[in-house]
Amino acid sequence: MRFLLASLLAAAAAAPLTAQTFPTTSIAEMANTPLVRVNIAETLRTPPDEASLTVGTQAKAPTARAAVAASKEKTERLLAAIRSAGIRERDIQTQGIQLSADYRYDRRPDGSGQQRLAGYVASNSIQIKTRNIDALTGLLDTLTGAGADSVYGPNFGISDPAPLRREARVRAMARGEAEATEYARNAGFTRVRLLSVEEGVSYRGTDIVVTGARVVNVSAPPPPPPPTPERGGGDSIVAPGQIETGVQLNLLYRMER
């Protein structure tokens, strides 16, 4: 936070008295109505309402064709289990298919060795998204039971962060005006007038997972029910925590008497 008037006065004092200097009336006007800029970051925390996972299958075989066929069979079985678990088609996406040679290193008694081709490895990965956070533990059991060789996630998020950001803007604007007004009164003025607003999102990409007590605010969903085996109690391995969402505002005000 800074007064723009100070830099203008310093520049005017250092400049030679030529036709290019600021007119005296302009400096006087700036002194009568100086500017103040404040940067405000406001964030809200709420439990996530969606989670994404990436699951993979892997198959080995002596030939590339056999490896691909075995991987296809495992993947189809996994996809059937995903659909039967209630995951919508639009929330199922193939992420990658890979085929690679599988080499083995045979060591001889004399310490030397030789690399040989043992076969091929075919793998497939699928990303899924679910909005049933309560059933994540059961979903993980279903995926591994259906043949998933790897599971990455869950990664938690908010399906629609717009309401939280709207509330964050309201709070940030109120804080900005209060802080700018405080500066104005300290400088002998009575109020401020907003001139410009610049906004930046206070997070991007993967949302921040906040582990700790749940914080209730006017925009957040209602607090969750008591822990159950699927909600982080008992034998559950899933702890959703909270997601932090917000905005950052750059506000410019003019001080007025």
d(CA 253, CA 257) in angstroms, rounded, equals 13
The CATH homologous superfamily to which domain 33-47+160-256 belongs is Protein of unknown function (DUF541), domain 1 (3.30.110.170)
Question: Which residues contact residue 160 at a Cβ distance below 8 angstroms, ignoring those fewer than 6 apart?
Answer: none
Dihedral sign for Cα atoms in the order 187, 191, 196, 199:
positive
- 27: which 2 tokens? 């400096």
Give the pLDDT confidence of 216-233 residue by residue, as tens digits.
233 333 444 444 444 444
E strands, the chain, in order: 2-3, 35-46, 50-61, 92-107, 113-130, 150-157, 191-201, 208-210, 242-256
- 95: which 2 tokens? 């992420």
User: How many other C-beta atoms can be found within 10 angstroms of the C-beta atom of residue 142?
Assistant: 17
DSSP characters over 60-97: EESSHHHHHHHHHHHHHHHHHHHHHTT--GGGEEEEEE
- At 121 the pLDDT is 94
The residue ranges of every structural domain in the chain are 33-47+160-256, 50-157
Give the pLDDT confidence of 78-110 residue by residue, as tens digits.
999 999 999 999 999 988 889 999 888 888 777
- At 3 the pLDDT is 45
> CB–CB of 44/169 below 8 Å?
no
Determine the average pLDDT of the residues in 67-87. 92
What is the third-level CATH fold of 50-157? Alpha-Beta Plaits (3.30.70)
Give the bridge partners for 127, in sequence order.
54, 93
d(CA 3, CA 26) in angstroms, rounded, equals 16
Determine the average pLDDT of the residues in 107-125. 85
d(CA 5, CA 28) in angstroms, rounded, equals 10
Looking at per-residue pLDDT, the higher value among 213 and 242 belongs to: 242
Give the pLDDT confidence of 166-212 residue by residue, as tens digits.
999 999 999 999 999 999 999 999 999 999 999 976 544 333 333 22
Calculate ∠ Cα 216-161-157, nearest 5°. Answer: 85
> CB–CB of 33/256 below 8 Å?
yes
Give the bridge partners for 193, in sequence order.
254
pTM above 0.95, yes or no: no
